[in-house]
Chains A and B, each alone.
Chain A
Amino acid sequence: MNLLDFLTPSPEIAKREGPDDTIVISSRVRLARNLKNISFPGWATKQDRIRAMDLMRPAVENLPQMKDGFSTIMDELSPLDKQLLIERHLISREHAVKSAGSAVVMSKGEIFSIMINEEDHLRMQALLPGFQLESAFNKIDEVDTLLEKQLDYAFSSKLGYLTACPTNVGTGIRVSAMLHLPGIVLAEQINQIIQAVNKLGLAVRGLYGEGTDALGNFFQVSNQQTLGEEELQILERLQKVVAQIVEHESNARTLLLEKQKTAVLNHIGRAYGILANAYSMSSKEAMNLLSLFRLGIDYGFFPNTIRALSDELFLICQPAHLQKLYPNTNEPEERDIVRADIIRERLKDIKGPITK
């Protein structure tokens, strides 16, 4: 099956809704697990990796959650397909460079994705729109409980689930929320927020995870500690911190509108002006301008425009999405032109920002 036929179409993804989704784009919980008696993927021989994959893959594919899912070994994916999956947050950048002995299994609708032989033998995630970390945790916990009946996990009563990197040992859990924080960024409070969050032992990362930029004012907040604390405690801490950041962001937005309305309108109006009129645009520029456009929609500056429009543009303006939709755009320069064309076309009936 063609990967693009399997993935949910971008307009539908953009329409998905969840609690607090003006600010919390998505909630994700991932668990790291390994098999007993087999070296971790980074140290295992190719034969061992394949042996481990052959043990795990059928168990993963037969999960009820993976009914009508998509399963593939990494060797069979083209570089473009891998990039597409990164943009959908279904595989990590690290997994994209894996070849023999690695695989990925995804559920229809993309809630579940399980990477086989990434850094650990199993990296399983549940990804939901909006602020629903607890639900994401319950979903992936169910998957884990089903898998442990068939697979012999490496587990120690003292250190818990054993992982390739000691940073994940114990619960092997990473709870993370993707946040859109243009208000905090415009109010120039983002560094304080990042510092405060770091102090709580949580990490703040960019759009595509570890070591990436905060493109488009998107930030991922996640736990770093996995040992000595129960899953539910980690989850609760994340929920509290995310709820606080959400409150900060809404306050920042309200305050900006009260105190610096002209400046806010200026930012959003200029972003709109470029989006609606440019003839060439890089994905980075598009992300940053679409972020302001999205903020304008949230403010109600663009009547009759729904957020799904900006969210769909976010998705399809990413390089691999664009190249999949328009196969003759192998060069970045060609994509920049097509990207600008798409955005201009989609914004042509929308007037500039207005306030009552």
Chain B
Amino acid sequence: MLCNICKQKRATLHFTKIVGEKVHKIDLCEDCAKKQGLADGSIDVTDFLLGLDVSQPSDEPEVEELKCPVCGYTLSHLKKSGRLGCPECYNTFADMLEGILKSMHKGVRHVGKIPNAQHSGKTVAEKIRKLQEELEHAVAIEDFERAAVLRDEIKRIRVKLNESEDKKL
């Protein structure tokens, strides 16, 4: 699949935008993503998605085999062994895993122990960063309902943060 902006290079970065109930996908090559300030994380991805409008409705079929961008594990590896290559594979193969996990376990959401580092000393900034990570993940697995909730939650926290800073002044 080609980059939506330059329409020349192969798109390696994929973003999804939700407007109301409509879903738009945008696929960028690394260079164009960099030009948009997306590849190095200097821009808030959420803001980018909320503002940019070069996307097109997505109905392109997947041609290439799904492959984990971090470790290179492929869908056929997963199908063959039933195991994953690295922690990131849970995001990469989220669609496929959803059904497997549902049939295997009591639920599809973790309840139980959380490592201390994950919930202690949470500043507002960290919380927003964490929510953004979750948002990206939700978008990646096309859980748009949750993505919308997270998007609103981030907005709400931002508004609150601004309010409290206004009060200080």
Interface flag for B149 (CB, 8 Å): no
Give the nearest-CB partner of A154 in chain B: B87
Give the complex CA separation of A148 and B120 in angstroms. Answer: 13
Say which residue of A153, A164, A225 sits within 8 Å of B83 (CB atoms): A164
**A165 near B112 (CB under 8 angstroms)?**
no
**A158 near B101 (CB under 8 angstroms)?**
no
Least distance between B113 CB and chain A CB atoms (Å): 6
Known: A148-B117, A225-B105, A226-B105. A157 touches B134 (CB 8 A): yes
**B101 near A156 (CB under 8 angstroms)?**
no
Give the complex CA separation of A229 and B82 in angstroms. Answer: 22
**B110 near A171 (CB under 8 angstroms)?**
yes
Say which residue of A43, A158, A161, A227 sits within 8 Å of B105 (CB atoms): A227
Known: A227-B101, A228-B106. A162 touches B87 (CB 8 A): yes
Interface flag for A37 (CB, 8 Å): yes
Give the complex CA separation of A148 and B104 in angstroms. Answer: 27
**A42 near B83 (CB under 8 angstroms)?**
yes
**A155 near B116 (CB under 8 angstroms)?**
no
Interface members, chain B 49-68 (any A CB < 8 Å): none
Say which residue of A43, A145, A153, A225 sits within 8 Å of B104 (CB atoms): A225
Q: Contact mask B96-123 → A, CB, 8 Å, 1/0?
A: 0100110011111111111111100000
Say which residue of A42, A149, A227 sits within 8 Å of B106 (CB atoms): A227
Interface flag for A278 (CB, 8 Å): no
- A interface residues, how many (CB within 8 angstroms): 42
Say which residue of B83, B87, B97 sits within 8 Å of A36 (CB atoms): B87
Say which residue of B101, B115, B134 sits within 8 Å of A155 (CB atoms): B115
Identify whether the interface residues of B are mostly helix, strand, loop, or mixed: loop
Give the complex CA separation of A39 and B110 in angstroms. Answer: 21
Interface flag for B84 (CB, 8 Å): yes
Q: Which residues of B contact A36 (CB under 8 A)?
A: 87
Give the nearest-CB partner of B113 in chain A: A231
**B83 near A229 (CB under 8 angstroms)?**
no
**B112 near A229 (CB under 8 angstroms)?**
yes
Q: Which residues of B contact A9 (CB under 8 A)?
A: none
**B104 near A167 (CB under 8 angstroms)?**
yes
Say which residue of A37, A42, A166, A171 sits within 8 Å of B113 (CB atoms): A171
Give the complex CA separation of A152 and B82 in angstroms. Answer: 25
Give the complex CA separation of A14 and B120 in angstroms. Answer: 44
Say which residue of A40, A149, A159 sits within 8 Å of B110 (CB atoms): A159
Least distance between B102 CB and chain A CB atoms (Å): 9
**A34 near B87 (CB under 8 angstroms)?**
yes
Interface members, chain A 114-144 (any B CB < 8 Å): 119, 141, 144
Interface members, chain B 32-78 (any A CB < 8 Å): 70-71, 73, 77
**B111 near A148 (CB under 8 angstroms)?**
no
Q: Which residues of B contact A141 (CB under 8 A)?
A: 113
Q: Which residues of A contact B113 (CB under 8 A)?
A: 141, 144, 160-161, 171, 231
Q: Which residues of A contact B134 (CB under 8 A)?
A: 157-158
Q: Which of A152, A164, A228 has the most CB of B within 10 A?
A: A228
A-B contacts, 6 listed (Cβ < 8 Å): A43-B86, A44-B86, A159-B90, A165-B82, A169-B105, A231-B112
Listed in ascending order, the chain A residues whose CB lies under 8 Å from chain B are 34, 36-40, 42-44, 119, 141, 144-145, 148-149, 152-162, 164-167, 169-171, 201, 224-231
Listed in ascending order, the chain B residues whose CB lies under 8 Å from chain A are 70-71, 73, 77, 81-87, 90, 97, 100-101, 104-118, 130, 134, 137
Query: Closest 6 A-B residue pairs measured CB to CB?
Result: A228-B107, A160-B110, A154-B87, A228-B106, A227-B105, A43-B85
